Amino acid sequence: MNGWSEMRQHNEQLREQIINVAQAAFSARGFAAVSIRELAAELQISKGNIYNYFTGKEDLFAACIGDTAAAFSTTLTAMEAKYTQAQVDQTTDPDYFSNIEQELLTVFKHNGVAIDLLLNCSNGSALAGGAVRLALLTKRVTAAILRLNNAYPGQPKLAAAFAETFASSLINSLQTIIRHQYPTAIHETTLDTCITLFSNGLKQTIRSNS
C-alpha cells in the first residue's frame, strides 16, 4: 500500500469514527446538547479535524442519519400528496386512508438508528420537522378513517380529539420500541405487533361508536 492509499484509508477510518461517536452522543443527549468541542475531546482530536470532514454540527448530524433522512422525507411527501389528493377527490373509501397509514408505518421497520435520531433526537436541528410532519399526517389520516367509517356520528370534536390522541400514542410507542436495541427480527416483530394492536384498537373503536 503506497502513501496516498494509506492516507486515504486513514481519512476514511477517522471519518467513520467521528460519525460513530457522534451517533452515540446524539442518541444519548439529543442534537441540541451535543457540541463539536465535546466530540473532539471524546475522540481526542482537535475541532479542526472534525471540520476537515464536516462543515458543522448540522452536516455531521445529517451524516449520522445518512440516506434515511432523504428517504423518510420522500415517503412523507408521497403520503402527504396521497392524503391531499384524496381530499380533492373527496375519497369516501376508508381503506384508502388505512393503506396510507400502513405505508407510513412501515418506514419505522428498517432504519432503526437513523429513525431514532430523526424522531427522538433531532430537536434544534434542521431535520426536526420530520417528527412534526409524521405526527400531523398520522392524526389527519386517523381522523379521515374515523369520519368515513361514521365513528362518533355528530361528534366531530370528540372524533378529532381521539384522532390526535391515537396518533400521539402510536408514534410514542413506535419511538420507544425503536430506541431499544433489539436484534433485527425481534425489533421488526415488535413493531408489527404494536401496529397490529393499534390498528385493531382503532377498528374496535369504530365498531363501538358507529
C-beta of residue 58 within 8 angstroms of C-beta of residue 107 = no
Query: Tens place of pLDDT for every residue, the chain, 210 residues?
Result: 566 777 788 789 999 999 999 999 998 999 999 999 999 999 999 999 999 999 999 999 999 988 777 777 887 888 888 888 888 888 888 788 777 777 767 766 666 677 788 878 888 998 888 777 877 887 888 888 777 777 777 777 777 888 788 777 877 777 777 777 666 677 677 777 777 777 777 777 766 766
Same domain, 45 and 94: no
Same domain, 31 and 117: no
Same domain, 156 and 178: yes
Same domain, 36 and 22: yes
Same domain, 43 and 85: no
What domain range includes position 111?
67-209
Same domain, 27 and 117: no
C-beta of residue 107 within 8 angstroms of C-beta of residue 74 = no
Same domain, 32 and 102: no
Question: Total domain count for the chain?
Answer: 2
C-beta of residue 98 within 8 angstroms of C-beta of residue 145 = yes
Residues with Cβ within 8 Å of residue 137, at least 6 apart in sequence: 76, 79, 80, 83, 104
- Give the torsion sign (CA, 53, 59, 63, 64): positive
How far apart, in Å, are the Cα atoms of 13 and each of 7, 19, 20, 38, 64? 10, 10, 10, 20, 15
Same domain, 83 and 170: yes
Among the three residues 36, 64, 92, which one is the final residue of a domain in this structure? 64
Same domain, 77 and 50: no
CATH of the domain at 57: 1.10.10.60
Same domain, 93 and 108: yes
- Give the torsion sign (CA, 139, 144, 147, 151): negative
C-beta of residue 94 within 8 angstroms of C-beta of residue 148 = yes
